[in-house]
């Protein structure tokens, strides 16, 4: 490596390696970044303050969920590792939103918290060219506007051609429990010092955000008979497209209970000591995952709020109280918690708390996640103002890919909004920024019908293979799956079912009869019917057995046939909107007349007066629906 990229060799005797990529932080962004860079052939070092907490699930023990499940499948389709680890350590699988259209279906697994971290650690240890070092990075080595390494609290200087910061909630982290405050990146772990100050010296703008976590309790002290049992799916799926993981044979149940007015009154007694209300916390928290005290204050008309009781693993008795995030004093937490049905005798393992931390507005980045101010320096995860494991992991993956490609002088991989939720997330961050913890929702994406969880591999695995993260085995499996799915679509389109057999299916579903034989595809167009409705049909059973057709092939073929018109229209709209980005907006347009547009969008567009559609799309608070209203008004 050329000397111009590194600090002097004598400063790095402890490690004795010139690294291509140094990743700072071992959370969900860090592990994906380090894995990607190393697997793309770059000598990579993961520096973290505690090697025992790599990929720690700091909040709830689960992966996926609404929109997050789509992101996790996209990570897997590109060749990331989180989905595979989630499958291997899952204790329950559910496909959320099955009652809605397939664009809204979102996979979620309840995870074994300890096993997830262990399996991720072992996965990384099996990765060639990936090294580990336990220390706190306190400074960046920058020469002539280019990062050349990092320095640690022990005085070790580590040369690197690229540096990826994935610091999570650790940058000057401050934990709040009632009127108590203490430094920390997580409960029981120290905060990270030095990096914020160095970045500010380099010219970066910094801000503060806040998040929180609920108490954890002893499951042996709970009365589950007073709660609603929430089982996993009868036919569980999995996240990864890889054959390395399998579906669950047995599952653990979660439970649901509710707060009540007595709980709310007990919580209110501690409001005068709440850092949320007494001014101790003035940073912005996640709008869509508020603390329980925020919920009862903001939604005073509601007399109860849902609580999800989630086991933390197969064997442990520790339970996560999802929906009860709080920073109230410990005694207030305990008193209110024991008024919830089933929690009368609850024993608390760990109290809930809020944490404030530094972040850097992501408008300071390129779409590659490289910073605009310092060459070779990348940010990923909560340092960019996001919240959630999946949002962090996908940023880490893209930062690792792009850092490695930059060393080889290859073009950065930038995913379009019509290609992936990952593309939506990064584009939102770079173009609009965020002043509150950013969480992905399906409503943020213009092209939800295209960006489904079932077709993430179809959208992104060819790109992952081209990049070099999808190996030949996975590529062969992908091609075989696509071939089978296409074969099924053709079979359903061309195969006719006799009238009597069709009517037998229709009768079972209480549908009107037909008087002639029909193509199965035509019957599948009926919303009440699906592929499972025909699984008793011998010709289909024979095809499934003969060609070793899997459930995922049947599901994808069904969706493609049922929603072909919608999918085609959305692809056309994506192409059209891309062409219309340069369309000029008339000067002096009175946005107040656009009643179908959100009030926030009308106000911001009227104030900022964008000159074209691309500029309008980039304004925070202007949604895809608002842009559609604008285009209709302009006659386009």
What are the phi and psi torsion angles at 625 (to 5°)? -65, -40
Q: Is the pTM of this model over 0.85?
A: yes
What are the phi and psi torsion angles at 385 (to 5°)? 90, 15
Residue 146 per-residue DSSP state: E
The pLDDT, as a whole number, for residue 369 is: 98
How many CB atoms sit inside 10 A of residue 29's CB?
34
Structure tokens at 462: 């060819």
Query: Angle, nearest 10°, between helix axes 456-467 and 68-78?
Result: 40
- For residue 568, give Cα distances in angstroms to 520, 572, 573, 574: 21, 6, 9, 10
The pLDDT, as a whole number, for residue 443 is: 85
The pLDDT, as a whole number, for residue 146 is: 98
Given a contact cutoff of 8 angstroms between Cβ atoms, the answer to whether 580 and 613 are in contact is yes
Residue 211 per-residue DSSP state: E
Q: Using 50 as the pLDDT threshold, list the residues of the chain that sit under it.
A: 1-12
- 484-508 tens-digit pLDDT: 999 999 999 999 999 989 888 888 8
Angstrom distance (rounded) from CA 290 to CA 273: 18
Angstrom distance (rounded) from CA 267 to CA 332: 6
The pLDDT, as a whole number, for residue 288 is: 61
Provide the β-strand partners of residue 189.
186
Which residues, 6 or more positions from 98, have their beta carbon under 8 angstroms from its beta carbon? 105
Which residues, 6 or more positions from 565, have their beta carbon under 8 angstroms from its beta carbon? none
Percent of the chain residues topping a pLDDT of 70: 96
Structure tokens at 90: 């899952």
Domain 472-570 has CATH 1.10.10.60: no
The pLDDT, as a whole number, for residue 427 is: 92
- Three-state secondary structure string covering 31-55: HHHHHHHHHCCCCEEEEECCHHHCC
The pLDDT, as a whole number, for residue 3 is: 39
Angstrom distance (rounded) from CA 129 to CA 261: 56
CATH architecture of 582-633: Orthogonal Bundle (1.10)
- 70-119 tens-digit pLDDT: 999 999 999 999 999 999 999 999 999 998 888 899 999 999 999 999 99
Domain map of the chain by residue range?
216-352, 472-570, 582-633
The pLDDT, as a whole number, for residue 392 is: 97
Structure tokens at 212: 């929180």
CATH number for the domain formed by residue range(s) 216-352: 2.40.30.260
Q: Where are the alpha helices (DSSP H) in 439-537?
A: 456-467, 472-494, 499-508, 520-524
């Amino acid at each position: 490596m050329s000397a111009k990229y590194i600090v002097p060799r004598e400063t790095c005797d402890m490690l004795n390696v010139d690294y291509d990529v140094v990743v700072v932080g071992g959370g969900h962004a860090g592990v994906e970044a380090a894995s990607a860079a190393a697997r793309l052939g770059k000598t990579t070092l993961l520096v973290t303050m505690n090697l025992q907490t790599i990929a720690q699930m700091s909040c709830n023990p689960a992966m996926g969920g609404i929109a997050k499940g789509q992101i996790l499948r996209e990570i897997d389709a590109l060749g990331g590792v989180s989905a595979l680890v989630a499958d291997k350590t899952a204790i329950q699988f559910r496909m959320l939103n099955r009652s809605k259209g397939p664009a809204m279906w979102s996979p979620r697994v309840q995870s074994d918290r300890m096993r997830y971290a262990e399996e991720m650690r072992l996965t990384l240890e099996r990765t060639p060219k990936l090294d580990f070092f336990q220390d706190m990075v306190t400074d960046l080595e920058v020469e002539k506007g280019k990062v050349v390494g990092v320095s640690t609290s022990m005085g070790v200087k580590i040369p690197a051609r690229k540096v990826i910061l994935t610091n999570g909630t650790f940058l000057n982290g401050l934990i709040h429990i009632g009127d108590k405050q203490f430094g920390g990146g997580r409960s029981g772990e120290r905060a990270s010092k030095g990096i914020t100050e160095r970045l500010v010296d380099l010219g970066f703008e910094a801000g503060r955000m806040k998040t929180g976590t609920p108490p954890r309790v002893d499951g042996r002290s709970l009365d589950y008979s007073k709660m609603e049992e929430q089982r996993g799916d009868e036919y569980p799926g999995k996240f990864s497209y890889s054959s390395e993981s399998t579906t669950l044979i047995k599952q653990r149940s979660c439970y649901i209970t509710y707060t009540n007015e007595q709980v709310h009154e007990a919580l209110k007694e501690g409001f005068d000591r709440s850092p949320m209300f007494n001014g101790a916390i003035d940073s912005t928290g996640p709008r869509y995952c508020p603390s329980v005290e925020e919920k009862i204050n903001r939604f005073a008309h509601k007399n109860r709020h849902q609580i999800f009781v989630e086991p933390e693993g197969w064997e442990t008795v520790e339970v996560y109280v999802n929906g009860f995030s709080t920073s109230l004093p410990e005694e207030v937490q305990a008193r209110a918690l024991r008024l919830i049905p089933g929690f009368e005798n609850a024993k608390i393992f760990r109290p809930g708390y809020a944490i404030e931390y530094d972040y850097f507005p992501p408008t300071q980045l390129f779409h590659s996640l490289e910073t605009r101010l310092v060459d070779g320096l990348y940010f990923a995860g909560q340092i960019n103002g996001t919240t959630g494991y999946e949002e962090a992991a996908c940023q880490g993956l893209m930062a690792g890919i792009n850092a490695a490609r930059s060393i080889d002088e290859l073009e950065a991989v930038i995913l379009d909004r019509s290609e992936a939720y990952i593309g939506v997330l990064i584009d939102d961050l770079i173009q609009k920024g965020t002043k509150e913890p950013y969480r992905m929702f399906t409503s943020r994406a213009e092209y939800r019908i295209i960006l489904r969880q079932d077709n993430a591999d179809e959208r992104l695995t060819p790109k992952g293979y081209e990049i070099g993260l999808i190996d030949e085995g996975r590529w062969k499996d992908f091609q075989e799956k696509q071939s089978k799915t296409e074969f099924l679509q053709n079979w359903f389109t061309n195969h006719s079912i006799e009238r009597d057999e069709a009517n037998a299916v229709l009768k079972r579903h209480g549908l009107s009869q037909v008087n002639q034989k029909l193509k199965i595809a035509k019957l599948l167009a009926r919303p009440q019917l699906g592929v499972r409705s025909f699984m008793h049909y011998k010709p289909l059973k024979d095809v499934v057995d003969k060609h070793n057709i899997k459930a995922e092939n049947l599901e994808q073929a069904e969706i493609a046939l049922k929603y072909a018109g919608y999918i085609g229209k959305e692809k056309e709209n994506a192409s059209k909107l891309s062409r219309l980005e340069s369309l000029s907006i008339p000067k002096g347009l009175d946005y107040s007349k656009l009643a179908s547009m959100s009030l926030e969008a009308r106000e911001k567009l009227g104030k900022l007066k964008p000159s074209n559609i691309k500029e309008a799309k980039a304004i925070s608070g202007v949604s895809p629906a608002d842009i559609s209203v604008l285009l209709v008004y302009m006659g386009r």
